[in-house]
Amino acid sequence: MDIQAIKTKSGKTIKDFTVPEKLVTGDPELVMLIMQSESMDDGEKQYWFNLTEAMSKEQVEKLRDILVREKQKLAEIDTKYGKKEKEDPAVAKLRIEKTAERQAAQRERLRSQERAVEEQEQKEEEEILKELETL
């Protein structure tokens, strides 16, 4: 994967960060892991890019391990619960309109049933009143 093509959640690319050239050329996988991390905001990503120059090899490997595990866990969650694709706004609008139409039709059916029940109750009430008048 091309490092230049990777975007953060906020849409930033590698050009928006100050990344040591030694890191970009020597460890592009770590750069990609940092860029793709969903647990860090852009400021934290810049912090880790800055810090890598002062880190020991063991610390770099621990960082890499954490980022790889994060990526694996998120992939497991996506697999288990399914990551929903963003819906096309036109499709979403159509779906909302159809749902609104179904709800309006359902409300009208319920109102109709309610009126029928009320009319039946009114008739029964009138019959009871007529019976009482004849007593």
Residues 45 and 102 in one domain: no
The pTM for the full model equals: 0.59
**Final residue belonging to a domain, choices 81, 100, 121:** 81
Do 14 and 35 meet the contact criterion of CB atoms below 8 Å apart? Answer: yes
Residues 15 and 64 in one domain: yes
Which range of residues forms the domain containing residue 14?
3-81
Residues 39 and 65 in one domain: yes
* 117 vs 19: CA distance, rounded Å: 74
Instruction: Report pLDDT digits (tens) over 84-110.
Output: 667 788 888 899 999 999 999 999 999
Long-range contacts of residues 21-26, Cβ cutoff 8 Å, at least 24 apart: 22/53, 23/49, 23/52, 23/53
Residues 43 and 97 in one domain: no
Residues 66 and 96 in one domain: no
Instruction: Report pLDDT digits (tens) over 25-69.
Output: 999 999 999 999 999 999 999 999 999 999 999 999 999 999 999
Count structural domains, the chain.
Answer: 2
* 116 vs 111: CA distance, rounded Å: 9
Say whether 20 sits in a helix, a strand or coil.
coil
Burial class (CB in 10 A: 0-12, 13-18, 19+), 35: buried
* 12 vs 22: CA distance, rounded Å: 21
Helices (H), 1-135: 21-26, 28-36, 42-51, 57-81, 89-134
